[in-house]
Every structure is written in C-alpha cells, then in structure tokens.
Amino acid sequence: MPRKHITYYEVLEAFGTSECPICNLVDKSMRQRMDALLHEQVNDPGTRRKLVESRGFCAPHSRVFLELGHPLGVALIFGDILDAVINDLERNSTKHTGKCPACQWAASDESRYLSVLAAHFDDENMHDAIVNSRGFCLPHLRALMSLLSQAQRSDLRQIIISHLVSLRSELSEIVRKSDYRCNEPFGQERDAWIRVVEKLSGVRSADRSALSSF
C-alpha cells in the first residue's frame, strides 16, 4: 500500500454530504489559488503576464473569481488584460495566446486527487468512506474507473449503483409528494432534483439558497 501523504487525508475528509468529493476538493483548491492570486501574487509580473496572455479566465472560472469579492485585485489584474484587448482591437486582432489558467489548475488538481484515490482504493478507511458517501459525479467516476483494476472497477460499480438507486428513489418521492392529493411534507429528498443534476453533469450549484426548493 502506498504511503499516506497529506493528499490522502484531504481526499478522505472530502467525503461528506456532497455529490462528489473530487469536485469539492478541486473547487476548494481553485478558490485558494485565486485568493492567493488576488493577495500575495497580485503584483507578481510573471503571474500577471500569464493572465494577460490568456486574456483572463473562462466564463465559469471568471464567475468564481468574482465571487471572491476583491475589487482592487480584479481592477489591477483585469486592467492589464483590458489594455491587451484594446491593443488587439487596434491591431485588428482578436486572437489570444493562452488557455484559461484556472482550467489548467483544475486539470492538475483533478489528476492528483484521482491518482491518490485510486492508489488507496483498497485502503479500509478509504473504501468505507466511498461506501458511506454519495459517490462521485459521473465525469469523475469515469475518470476514476480508468485508473482502477478490473476487480476494483467491479466493486466500485456496485457501490455506485446502490447510490444511484437511492437517488432515483428520492426523485420518485418528489414526484409522489408533488401530487396535490399528497399531504406529506418533503424530507431529505427536497434537494434531490439539484443533486441529480450535479451528479450527472459534475456542475456544482454555487448557491443553493438561490434555487427554489420545497
């Protein structure tokens, strides 16, 4: 069994009430990286240059960047980017030279967390955490499956099927209790309609309170 480094414990602790621990870990790491960018690295020339080359972040990661709420940091960084865009247009060019840095960070983090999870899949604590969790989003499930042995894939498949059958039952409860003839209150299934979308797409709802529920 491989040695247990800090990433092992990060993965183990990430299993909880969310639909995917890998999504949680990548999101947490992303926000930490962006927070550092807005504070410690905001005046670093190399960091600013890379962001100018990519013309900032993609739309989803720009939304995360704004959620951190740092007017000065955004003004400094995106001021440089805006200067570059103005220069592009003056030269009749809309080409940018780099990929979204945050997408590259996310890909690196996903690979790291999935590799550790696969390496420790047979660890008793890790296996118990998987069994007692809600599993993984479908994109990360597929990625994890590709790293496991045939026996491990078979084991994980049965665990995930059990999770998904339970989620399907919750959706059926929403339908049943939505019938005007039913007077039962909604229980733990009340947010299953949100969780199923997160589960199948890998998209996380940043603010569930903004979504209507039962």
DSSP states of 102-125:
HHHHHHHHHHHHHHHHHHTTTSHH
Rounded Cα distance, 10 and 71, in Å? 31
Q: Are 139 and 202 in contact (CB under 8 A)?
A: yes
Give CA separation, 130 vs 138, 140, 152, in Å.
Answer: 14, 13, 12
- The pLDDT tens digits for 23-37 are 999 999 999 999 999
Write down the pLDDT at residue 207.
53
210, pLDDT greater than 70: no
Rounded Cα distance, 19 and 167, in Å? 10
DSSP strands (E only) in the chain: none
Identify the weakest region by mean pLDDT among 14-23, 32-41, 197-206.
197-206
What DSSP state is assigned to residue 139? H
- The pLDDT tens digits for 114-154 are 999 999 999 999 999 999 998 999 999 999 999 999 999 99
